[in-house]
Amino acid sequence: MRVRFAPSPTGYLHIGGLRTALYNFLLARRHGGTFVLRIEDTDRSRFVEDAEQDILEMLRWAGITYDEGPITGGDFGPYRQSERSARYAEVAAQLVKSGNAYVAFDDDDALEAMRSRHRSENNPNPRYDHTTRGEMQNSLTLSADAVDQLLSEGVPHVIRLNVRPGETVVFSDAVRGEVRFESATIDDQVLIKSDGLPTYHLANIVDDHDMGITHVIRGEEWLPSTPKHVLLYQAMGWDVPTMAHLPLILSPTGGKLSKRNAEKQGIPVSVSQYVEAGYEPEALVNFLALLGWNPGDEREVFSLADLTTAFSLERVGQSGVQFDLQKLNWFNEQWLRSKASSQLATRLLPQARAAFGCEDEAYLEQAIDMMKERMTMAADVLDASYLFKAPESYDEKAVSKRWKANSSEVLSAFAVVLSELDAWSEQGLEVSLKAFIDAQGVGMGALMFPLRMALSGVGGGPSLYALMALIGREETLSRIKRAVLTIAT
RNA sequence: GCCGCGUUCGUCUAGGGGUUUAGGACGCCGCCCUUUCACGGCGGUAACACGGGUUCAAAUCCCGUACGCGGUACCA
C-alpha cells in the first residue's frame, strides 16, 4: 500500500488538509504501507512563499511523519511537481497522439465569447465540451497544417482532454460505493495550461501512477472531477487506484468552512492558528480523527498510536461534518490532564517569566498541579494571576455578597495563627485552620470566603491550603493585611 | 440550470430488516461530593427530513420530493 498527501502551497495548512493527511497517515501505518508527501505547486499565480514550510512544520507538530517527500527524498522523487514538468509534457503528448487530448488555441476572449453565446438561464455556465469545441480554435477543428503553423509561430495554447459523449464512467469509492457519471456531462478539462505547466488533474494522475500510489484518499470536493481522472487513467492504460472521498468539514452552522466564513464564527482554519492558540497536538489530532470517522465502539480518547491500530476506511462516514469548537476544547482538557505538570511547566515557563517574572519552574509546576483540572488551555494557568502575585482588585459582586461585618476581624485573628504556625504545609494549614474555626466558633465559610478573597481576589479557584502552601507565609500574611485594609474601608 | 454526494438528539455519532422504551460523547439543566470554582459521580433534556412502496415486520431496502453540501476555472 502506498498513499499520499498532496497539498498545494497556495496557503497555510488548512484544518481539513490536516485531517486528510492524518487519514492517509493512519491507513499507511495501519497496513504497513508507505506514506508519501507530494507538493503540488503547479499554480504559479497562487503560490505562497512560506506555505510549504508551514505544511511541513504543522505535520511535524501533529506527529504525522511521512516516508517520502521533499527534503526527505525517496525512490520516486522529485516530490515537488514544479520539478517534474518534463514528465507531464511527455504524457500530454502521448494523449494528444492517441487522440485522447487535443491542442486548443482559444484565448480568454474567445472563451468568454463562447460562454456569452451560450449563456442562458438554463445554462449559466457553458462548458468547453463536445457540444462547443466544434466552434473553437483547436486541433479538432483546424487542419493539421494550420495547427502546425500556429504552433511554430508560438501562439499560446493549451492541451485539453478529449471527452467523448455516450460513455458511462464508473468507479468504486471506498467511502461511497459505486459512483457513475455520464461522459456527456464532463467538460474537456485543460490538462496543460498555456504557461506549459499541468493542471492538477493531469499532474495528479501522472504522479499517482508514477509514484505507485494504491489508495487516493482526499476530500469530497474532488469527487466531481474523479471521472476525468478515471478517463485519464484509462487513456494511458493505467490502473485506477482505490478512491476514497472524505466527508467535508463544515462550519458550525453547516456552511462551507472557508476562511472568511469560519473566522467570522470564531473558527480558525489554519493549523498554525491552533498551535498559536495553544492547543495540544494530541487534542487536535484526536478531534480531527473523530470528525468523519469512528471506531465503532464507545471509545473517544485516542492517541496517534491508538488511532493507527483502530483506523479503517470502512468506518469513515459519508456526510459532511460540522466543526464544534466546544468538543475540541473538551479533548484539549482531556489531554492536558493526562500530561505531567512538569512537562507543562517547562513549556509555560517563558510565558510565566514574561507575565510575572516567574523564574522558578518547580513553583510553576506546583501551580499547574493545582490548576490542571480547571484548565481548558495550558496557558489558562497564567490567567490565574493570583498564583504569581497579589490581587490588585477584589471581585466587587462577590465581596458585597459575602464579605461580612466580622470578616476583617476573623481574618486578622487567623493571620496571627498563621504567623505562628510551625508546619507551613498543605496538611498543616488545613489542621490549623480547622482548629481555628472550632476555637472561634465560626463557620467554615466565615473564614474561607474572606481568606479566598484576600488571597486571590476572586470567588472561585483551587484549594486554599494548596494556595497558601504555594505562595508561602510571608506572601499570605501580606495579602491578608492588604485585603483587610482595602476591603474594610 | 446541470452533474454528483449526502440527510439519526443543537453538534460528533452507534445502530444497516425483528435484539430499540433508538445507545454513547460534547453542550445544556438538576442532584450529590465540596470552603469556592472546577474535577468526579448520578440523573435529565433532545433525533430516525417528508411522502410513497417492498415486507408478517422498515431508522435500517427501493422510488420520489424537500433540504443541505460539493462541483460546474488555463485554482487546487
Average pLDDT estimate for A263-285: 93
Q: How far is the CA of A124 from the C1' of B72 (A)?
A: 10
How many CB atoms sit inside 10 A of residue A408's CB? 19
Q: What is the DSSP letter of A46?
A: T
Please state at what angle helix A464-471 crosses helix A426-440, rounded to 10 degrees.
Answer: 120
> Given this model, what pLDDT does residue A397 score?
85
Q: Say whether A244 sits in a helix, a strand or coil.
A: strand
Q: How far is the CA of A396 from the C1' of B28 (A)?
A: 28
Residue A182 has pLDDT above 70, yes or no: yes
For chain A, which residues make up each domain, given as ranges?
A: 2-70+203-249, 85-192, 259-337, 341-385, 396-488
Residue A489 has pLDDT above 60, yes or no: no
Nucleotide nearest to A122 (CA to C1'): B1
Single-letter amino acid, residue A62 = A
> Given this model, what pLDDT does residue A100 score?
98
Nucleotide nearest to A223 (CA to C1'): B4
Average pLDDT estimate for A101-108: 97
Q: How far is the CA of A219 from the C1' of B21 (A)?
A: 40
Q: Greater confidence, A236 or A459? A: A236
Average pLDDT estimate for A57-81: 96
Which set of grid coordinates corresponds to residue A422?
510551625
Average pLDDT estimate for A44-61: 96
Nucleotide nearest to A156 (CA to C1'): B74
Share of chain A above pLDDT 70, in %: 100
Q: Are A466 and A395 in contact (CB under 8 A)?
A: no
> Given this model, what pLDDT does residue A264 score?
79
Which set of grid coordinates corresponds to residue A78?
522529485
Residue A419 has pLDDT above 80, yes or no: yes
Q: Greater confidence, A403 or A82? A: A82
Residue A266 has pLDDT above 90, yes or no: no
ipTM summary value = 0.95
Average pLDDT estimate for A393-421: 89
Residues 1-20/A with CB within 7 Å of nucleic chain B are: 6-8, 10
Q: Dihedral through CA A156, CA A158, CA A162, CA A168, nearest 10?
A: -150
Residue A123 CB-density burial (10 A; 0-12 exposed, 13-18 middle, 19+ buried): exposed
Q: How far is the CA of A322 from the C1' of B66 (A)?
A: 21
Q: How far is the CA of A240 from the C1' of B48 (A)?
A: 37
Residue A401 has pLDDT above 90, yes or no: no
A40 touches strand B (CB under 7 A): yes
Angle CA A178–A226–A69, to nearest 5: 115
Per-residue pLDDT band at A405 (split at 50, 70, 90): confident
Q: Which nucleotides of chain B does any protein CB come within 7 A of?
A: 1-8, 10-15, 23-27, 35-39, 68-76
Pick the catalytic residue from A97, A193, A228, A259. Answer: A259
Per residue in A4-46, pLDDT (tens digit) is 999 999 999 999 999 999 999 999 999 999 999 999 999 999 9
Residue A66 has pLDDT above 90, yes or no: yes
Please give the CATH topology (third level) of the domain spanning A259-337: Glutamyl-tRNA Synthetase; domain 2 (1.10.1160)
Beta-bridge partners for A100? none
**CA separation for the pair A86, A196 (Å, rounded):** 10
Which set of grid coordinates corresponds to residue A482?
492588604
A156 touches strand B (CB under 7 A): yes
**CA separation for the pair A242, A5 (Å, rounded):** 15
Q: Which of A243, A238, A285, A213 is nearest to A68 (CA)?
A: A213
Find all residues with CB under 8 Å of A274, minimum gap 6, and list them. A15, A268, A284
A112 touches strand B (CB under 7 A): no
Residue count (chain A): 489
Q: Dihedral through CA A317, CA A318, CA A322, CA A326, nearest 10?
A: 0
Nucleotide nearest to A329 (CA to C1'): B26
Residue A101 has pLDDT above 80, yes or no: yes
Per residue in A110-146, pLDDT (tens digit) is 999 999 999 999 999 999 999 999 999 999 999 999 9
Single-letter amino acid, residue A438 = D
Residue A227 has pLDDT above 60, yes or no: yes
A82 touches strand B (CB under 7 A): no
Alpha-carbon A128 to chain mean position: 36
> Given this model, what pLDDT does residue A173 score?
96
CATH number assigned to the domain with residue range A2-70+203-249, chosen from the 4 options 3.40.50.720, 3.40.50.620, 3.40.50.300, 3.40.630.30:
3.40.50.620
Q: Say whether A232 sits in a helix, a strand or coil.
A: helix
Beta-bridge partners for A313? none
Residue the block writes with cell 463536445: A130
Angle CA A412–A417–A420, to nearest 5: 125
Q: Say whether A6 sits in a helix, a strand or coil.
A: coil
A298 touches strand B (CB under 7 A): yes
Per residue in A282-325, pLDDT (tens digit) is 999 999 999 999 999 999 999 999 999 999 999 999 999 999 99
Residue A174 has pLDDT above 60, yes or no: yes
Per-residue pLDDT band at A259 (split at 50, 70, 90): confident
Nucleotide nearest to A323 (CA to C1'): B11
Q: How far is the CA of A444 from the C1' of B35 (A)?
A: 6
Q: Are A105 and A137 in contact (CB under 8 A)?
A: yes
Residue the block writes with cell 511523519: A65
When the pLDDT of each residue in chain A is averaged and rounded to a whole number, the result is 95
Average pLDDT estimate for A376-401: 92
Please give the CATH topology (third level) of the domain spanning A396-488: Arc Repressor Mutant, subunit A (1.10.10)
Residue A345 has pLDDT above 70, yes or no: yes
Q: What is the DSSP letter of A73?
A: B
Secondary structure (H, E, C), A299-360:
CCCCCHHHHHHHCCHHHECCCCEECCHHHHHHHHHHHHHCCCHHHHHHHHHHHHHHHHCCCC
Residue A357 CB-density burial (10 A; 0-12 exposed, 13-18 middle, 19+ buried): exposed
Does the pTM exceed 0.90?
yes
How many CB atoms sit inside 10 A of residue A460's CB? 9
> Given this model, what pLDDT does residue A261 score?
76
- The top-level CATH class assigned to A85-192 is alpha beta
| Helices (H), ranges, A237-280 | 259-264, 271-277
Residue A259 annotated in active site = yes
> Given this model, what pLDDT does residue A141 score?
95
Per residue in A434-466, pLDDT (tens digit) is 999 999 888 898 999 999 999 999 999 999 999
**CA separation for the pair A169, A180 (Å, rounded):** 6
- Name the closest residue (CA) to the C1' of nucleotide B71: A224
A76 touches strand B (CB under 7 A): no
> Given this model, what pLDDT does residue A78 score?
96
Percentage helix, strand, coil, to 5, in chain A? 50, 10, 35
Secondary structure (H, E, C), A101-161:
EEEECCCHHHHHHHHHHHCECCECCCCCCCCCHHHCCECCCCCHHHHHHHHHCCCCCEEEE
Residue A197 has pLDDT above 70, yes or no: yes
**CA separation for the pair A386, A394 (Å, rounded):** 11
Angle CA A56–A58–A62, to nearest 5: 120
> Given this model, what pLDDT does residue A263 score?
78
